[in-house]
Amino acid sequence: MIDDPYPSDWRELQEGVCRLFGEIGLSAQTEKVLTTPRGVVEVDVYAVDEASVDRIQYIVECKNWSTAIPKTVVHAFATVMAETGANIGFIVSQQGLQSGAELYTNSTNIIGMTYLELQQRYLQLWWSRFFCPYVGDVADDLRQYIEPVNNFRERKVELLANDAKERFLALQERHAAFGMSMSLLNAGRLMQIGMFPSAKQKLLTEPPNFQPFRMALEHLYPNYPWTAQTFRELLGEIEANVMTATREFNSVFGRNIFMDEDGPPTLTRSGKRVA
């Protein structure tokens, strides 16, 4: 799962749905006010697929209730869908819809599901469009420090004192496997120009099951802390570990050698500085 499927309150659920839609490439916002023939209505989450020819519109009703959603809620939501012209509507809740409500949606463009089911529905897109590119971008400087051939880096290494060179080589040995593995998560981008055979494309685009994936990280890289219970928590741990390793390399040279001397600081996609 991407996030905790049982958020503490409705606002956390609403923000989680909006964040998910944004991360898979939609333009999304919470508490959007829309105009209808009978006035205005505020919807919990509104999202648009700007890349689609017809700008597909999504509306989401978030109900963080401990009981299944009744038909009356679906009826009211159907009116909103009809009057706003939205293409797809989701009612996202903890327990899904009651049987009568579920039956009613069969002939509509409304889908009722739990927050976990919504995450599962979009997990593959989230993995390929957000998780892998995010990790690959975060690990880019670390990759340049540990990749086998980097002429620019080697020229900088030659300028180091002997003890600093030894520190650098020790860091390479410590972080090489982890750094290359993380940077290669972004290799899916290269598939568009045919740099990976089809047999490997599946590995780069389909998300693994969470627990086996985290256990593999624990087994392969036991020197890094792994306590995450969701993919998002794991993303944070990977980022923190990559940043720590990158800073260790930076300290050998006194700076990040992959930045211009007078250029801006290197930032991760979450806005954190690697200095």
pLDDT tens figures, 189-238: 544 434 444 544 554 557 889 999 999 999 999 989 899 999 999 999 99
- What's residue 108's pLDDT? 92
Say how far apart CA 248 and CA 9 lie, in whole Å.
40
Per-residue pLDDT, 273: 47
User: How far is CA 256 from each of CA 171, 218, 239, 249, 260, rounded to the nearest angstrom?
Assistant: 15, 28, 17, 8, 9
What per-residue confidence (pLDDT) applies to 31?
Answer: 96
Q: What share of the chain in percent tops pLDDT 90?
A: 80
pLDDT at 262: 45
For the stretch 58-74, pLDDT in tens is 999 999 999 999 999 99
Q: How far is CA 73 from CA 44, 91, 114, 247, in A?
A: 14, 9, 15, 52
Single-letter amino acid, residue 248:
E
Q: Beta strand 56-63 with 88-93: parallel, antiparallel or unpaired?
A: parallel
pLDDT digits (tens, 9 = 90+) for 125-184: 999 999 999 999 999 999 999 999 999 999 999 999 999 999 999 999 999 999 999 998
Of the candidates 246, 257, 249, the residue with the CA atom closest to the CA atom of residue 155: 257
Q: Does position 52 have pLDDT exceeding 60, yes or no?
A: yes
User: What's the distance, CA 262 to chain centroid?
Assistant: 31
The whole-model pTM stands at 0.86
Per-domain residue ranges of the chain: 10-121, 139-274
Residue owning tokens 């001397």: 261
Provide the CATH number for the domain formed by 10-121 in this structure.
3.40.1350.10
